[in-house]
Amino acid sequence: MQNIDARLPQRRSLQSPAPGPASQALDARRADNCARALQPGLPAYIVDGGGGILVDADGNSFIDFASGIGVTTVGSSNAAVTEAIIEAAQRFTHTCFLNAPYEGFVAVSEKLNQITPGDHAKKTALFSTGAEAIENAVKIARNFTGRNRVVVFDAAFHGRTNLTMAMTSKNKPYKAGFGTLASDIYRVPGSYPLRDGLSGEDAARRTIRTIEQQVGTEDLACVVIEPVQGEGGFVVPAPGFLPALQRWCRDNDVLFVTDEIQAGIARTGQWFASCDEDLTPDLITTAKGLAGGMPLSAVTGRADVMDAPGPGSLGGTYAGNPLACAASLAALEEIDRLNLTSRAREIETIIREELSALDGHPTVAEVRGRGAMIGIEFLNSDGEPCAELTSRIAGACKKAGVIVLTCGSDGNVIRLLPPLVINEDVLRDGLSVLVDAIQTA
């Protein structure tokens, strides 16, 4: 894998055990002033970043295997993105597209219509957050079909707003104590090969039977699914599951919506995870990797569906902010220029090669995922999820200067989401720390 130039030295180095004094002082201010719910996973405060590295207030350099949850795909200070933001900010920071339009909004929409799967006529609506994109995809699907019901899946994650909280599977910490959930959301089993042992076709049969028995099609607006699950554990459905589900949706006039907020935008080695099985979703939601770290999200899909809601019925004050659009155009261009889709596949090869040191390890149940979206699931000898072990491993990595995140309904999956611009020696160094942490845990 070829090295990509970065502004910062690309090397892990700990000056002092993190958190050092500067981070500790900042964390004391956080504890006094920020709501308790907003609990950072890393005890160190970041002051700089770029390539595969984040630098903290005490001068420690961490290897970044999180990318701010799959956001900084082109790096956290990509020069082209930064320049685009500065250039846009020097002209205007905001107008609200609905009041006074600007080109960037249109250009990002054009680009998404172009790169999303399928050569049918498409349109796009821009928003700010992932949850907002999901909320709007559901609004659009309900408006187009005149139906209310929404099917979602076991272990799904779609956000934390009221509607998306209902669509998200995990009770704690996302739903418990947060009041009445939105109605007309139906959860069905998906495909989780490690746990259900079903082929894609059999899993789809089970899913479809459940939908037909419990939800029906007369009132069903859409099925919303992550083509590779994010927060739910980096679960990759068995081959054939998603195409069978899409086919059933088509046959029953139910909209097939893929949530590509985490898996999309080059992460899995193609522009979209939906590309791998030639899916052509009716609607696709994007966010995280879309704008180089700026808040931007989108719903892209069939023009007839997208055009169902009338003028003025979708939008938001900040939706498609001009700086975020400028950043997005630059980030998407960087993905092309640096050929980051194929780099994601090279990253996968290196990750699998380094993690092969764990072959036969008693608690490593599976290494799975695609491209630069790889998860490691930990089960004990009774097949029970090891959440405590998993968080201990993540903790040991952070202590050694490597930022990794956990996920999974049972909290027993380590997820790797490095920036796609990470260099090979940094990647290998971080992986060796992870392998050590797993072997000693």
Q: Which residues pair with 222 in a beta bridge?
A: 150, 255
CB of 251 to ligand PLP, least distance (A): 26
Measured distance CA(318)–CA(362) in Å, rounded: 49
Q: Judged by CB under 6 A, does residue 20 bind ligand PLP?
A: no
Site string for ligand PLP, 107-146 (x = CB under 6 A): ----------------------xxx--x------------
Minimum CB separation of residue 287 from ligand PLP in Å reads 5
| CB of 159 vs ligand PLP, minimal distance in Å | 4
Minimum distance from residue 299 beta carbon to ligand PLP (Å):
12
Count of residues that interact with ligand PLP, criterion CB under 6 A: 15
Considering only residues 63, 126, 224, 287, which one is a binding residue for ligand PLP as defined by CB under 6 A? Answer: 287
Return the number of other C-beta atoms located less than 10 Å from residue 29's C-beta: 10
**Residue of minimal CB distance from ligand PLP?**
130
Part of the chain binding ligand PLP (CB under 6 A), chosen from 78-86, 154-162, 171-179, 241-249: 154-162
User: How many of the other CB atoms lie within 10 Å of CB of 384?
Assistant: 11
Q: How crowded is the C-beta side of 306, counted as CA atoms within 13 Å?
A: 22
Q: CA-to-CA distance for 307 and 390, rounded, in angstroms?
A: 45
Q: Sign of the CA dihedral 361, 365, 369, 375?
A: negative
Please name the residue ranges forming H helices in 186-339.
193-196, 200-214, 241-251, 303-306, 322-337
Binding status of residue 158 toward ligand PLP by CB under 6 A: yes
User: Which one of residues 51, 159, 269, 418 is an interface residue with ligand PLP (CB under 6 A)?
Assistant: 159
Nearest to 414, CA basis, from 383, 438, 382: 438
Q: How far is the CB of 349 from ligand PLP (least distance, A)?
A: 24
Task: Identify the bridge partners of residue 64 per DSSP, sorted by sequence position.
Answer: 403
Pairing of β 220-225 and β 149-153: parallel
Which residue in the set 62, 65, 144, 157 belongs to the binding site for ligand PLP (CB under 6 A)? Answer: 157
Q: Is 264 in the site for ligand PLP (CB under 6 A)?
A: no
Given the rule CB under 6 A, which residues bind ligand PLP? 129-131, 134, 157-159, 226, 230-231, 259, 261-262, 287-288
